[in-house]
Every structure is written in C-alpha cells, then in structure tokens.
Structure 1
Amino acid sequence: MIKCVILDDELLAISYLKLLCEQIDHVEVVKAFNDPKAFLNEIDTLDFNVCILDIEMPGMTGLQVAELIPDSKKIIFTTAYKEYAAEAYDLNVVDYVRKPLKKERLMQAFEKAAELVANIRRKNTIEWNTNIGKTLIFTEQIVYIKTSEIDSRDKEIILSDGTAIVLKNLSFKTLLEMLPSKDFAQVNKKEIIALSSIKAFSTNEIITTISSDTENFLKLQVGETYKNSLLEMFGK
C-alpha cells in the first residue's frame, strides 16, 4: 500500500491530484498541504511512505523541502517546467512528472515508488526459524540480542516491548549480515546492542535504556576486540 502526502501551493492542483489518486489501486492520500512549513512541522507525526511534491512554491521550493525529507520517504516531483529535471534527479527522487498530470503517468511513478518501498521493507526485516516457527521480525523493534543460555547456537532477541524470541541455530556473523549495519553493534562475543538502546558508554562498559532485574538499566561489558569498531560508529 502506498500512503502518500501531497504538497502543492495550488489548491486546484491538490484537488486534481487527490482525484487521480482515488482512481489508482493501493494508493491512499494521508494528507494534503499547500504550505511547505506546515508540512515540515507535521512530517514526524505523519504515517506515509511517498510524497508528491510540487517544485515551484513561494517561500520554499520543492527541491529545498526534499532535502529535509528522510531517505526512507520516497519523493515524486511534479512541475510544469522541464528545467528542474537535472536538479530533481540529483536528489535521488523516484520520478519527475510533468504537469498537466495524467493518470497513466502518475501510475508509472507510483509503481516505481512501490518497488522501492517494498525493498526498504525487506531490508528492515529479518526472517528465520525461531522458537515460535518461521518468523518475520522488524529490525526497528529489536533492542538487544544475546547468545541463548540454553543452547549457544541459538540467539535470543529482545524486542522493544520486552518480548523474547529465540533464533534457532544462527551465528552472530550471519545475524550481523542480516541486520542494518548502521543500527547495531556487537559489543562482545555473546551480545549485540541496537545503537538506539545505548544510554551512555565508555571504552569498557555500555549502559543501555533496557530495564534489568538486577539493576535499573542493563549494563554490557565491551570486549577488547570490539572497542574500536564501536567507537568508530559514534565517530570517536
């Protein structure tokens, strides 16, 4: 499902775009804006994966807005002028659609966007045999991973809500290859931490945001082999 946001300073253009989107399967318009600043003020609260963005707007161009949109959100530019095409593609957008818009051309743009959105979704999940069967896990929900105390071949994943899932017969090497490298770090031979779960750290110890039965927050010891790579991830 494509969940899109529309940003165009012309209300008539917004109405027409909404009408086209309603005629295209698997496309939902979450919200429409005619003011770039209003859109940017709400961007963090909106559930969308594609932005249909007009380039020519007073005060702030679509090109400027695009630079402030997270990479995970895909952009389809619309414009009546062809001279912006090179700049638009420099921003790595999904597509550049000339006005007046046509349904068939917009559908092509959405098809490109849907493929990229699906790729992101695949990259943000891992699938493996677990204690509850073959399971698809969203990596953004993972806060901590450790070697199972019952069988060292297995790895226990702790999710943000406290749920524990055991991955069967999986090495840390393979697991790290499956995880987004910018979001996770191995801290010793038996533990991996999500960087978002780190509260503070030194060269020897990590204090996490994870509650612990024995302490206020779970603390992890940093292995000598892993110190440098961990510091590099934080630009130290």
Structure 2
Amino acid sequence: MIRCICVDDEAYASTLLKAYIEKIPFLEFAGSTTSPIEALGWVAENRADLVFLDIQMPELTGLQVLKLCGNKCKVILTTAYPEYALEGYEHDVVDYLLKPIAFDRFLKAVQKAQTLLQPTPTVASMPAPSAAVPSVPAPPEYMFVKGESKNKFLRINYADILFIEGLKNYVSLYLPKQRVVTYQTLRDLEEQLPQPPFYRVHKSYIISIDKVNMVDGHTLYIQDKSIPIGETYREGFFKLIREKEQG
C-alpha cells in the first residue's frame, strides 16, 4: 500500500482527495492537514510515501515544503495556478494537478506514483496470481469546475457538455441551457476530459463528437453553433468521423 497525506489550506480540496484515495485499492489515506509545518513532521516520521501538496499556503509555500522534504517521499502538487508547473517539475515531482481535480486525471497521476514506488517485480519473483484481484473503479461521469468565488465548485456532467471554447486562461463550457465560464486553460481541461467522446478540433475548441449535428467541409455544427475545424486537427477528426460511420 502507498500511504498518502494531503496538505492543503482548503478543507474542500483535502476532502475531495481523501474520497479519491479511498477508491483506489493500492492507496491508503494516512491523514490531512492545513499546516505545512505539521506535514513536514509527518514526513520526518516516515508516515507518508506520497504527499498531495498544495502550493499556495500560509507559513510555508508548497514549493518550500517540497525542497525541505528532499527525497523522503514522492510529491504530487495540487494548485489552481498553472504558472507553477515548470518549477514543480524542476524539483522532480510525480505530477502536477490543476484544481478542480477530475478523478481520471487523479488516477493517471497516482498510477505514475505507483510505478515509481512499487516497481513491477521480475518474472522470477512474481507471486502466484490471486483468485480475486481488486479492480480500479471506473472514472466518474462528471467533473467539478471552479466557480466565481474561492470555495465554489460546480458539478458538470460530461454528457451535458456540447462543446468548450478556450478564452486565454478561461474556458466556456456550453451546456444545453447555460454557459459556464471557469478559470482554466483549454490544454489542461483537454487532459481531464474522457476521449472519446471529447475531441479537440481547433486551437480554441473541444467538442463532444456525440453532439455534432453536421459536418460541412471544414466546419462542424452543434445545435445552432458553427465551429471551425483547424488544419492541425482535420486529419484526426475526419478519421474519427469515418470510424464512427463504419462502426
């Protein structure tokens, strides 16, 4: 088992991570704290193999804690600010998760940690197969996106998303009866979304292939909205369309 602790000054973030950790058979929740100082004590006491570490915190920043931890544990950074990603990777973190964290993106990160902390045994030392191997639960069919205030998060069902438009550091999620704007880049959101049905068709657009009404040349239509198909994405998009037609 990989023992995990969560260090975040927002209780909601730790609660969400705790729920995710408890879904994964090879993870064990070992505690959460809002204090970076307390977290350093836990690491020194060898209470954690993997730390989910927020960056913006009082007393010490997550990056300062990361430096003080040294090589005593593995770290996955969690933050709402993408500009810290490069510095985090320079300190050899396992992964960098942008809030609000979707379960499938969380799962990808902890699988990286498992590879580092629990290497696959050689054939000679592999134990006999167990009669019942626990399976990793399927990702949820929704995600949470950050609202207009600090601790407000909105649940968005994947099945409700028609398409998504990127607006610099913001994205607009178009749903059947509303539009939701959240602070996040289109690239980061693309990593969270299940593919299929979502597919990027332009530098500014991700669409749900299931919601496309018509494709005409280099333009596709979802309800009354026309969306251009970027040159970079055309070959892959039309290949997907042909596979759908044959399937």
Greater share of residues in strand: 1
TM-score if structure 1 supplies the norm length? 0.49
Larger radius of gyration: 1
TM-score scaled by length of structure 2: 0.47
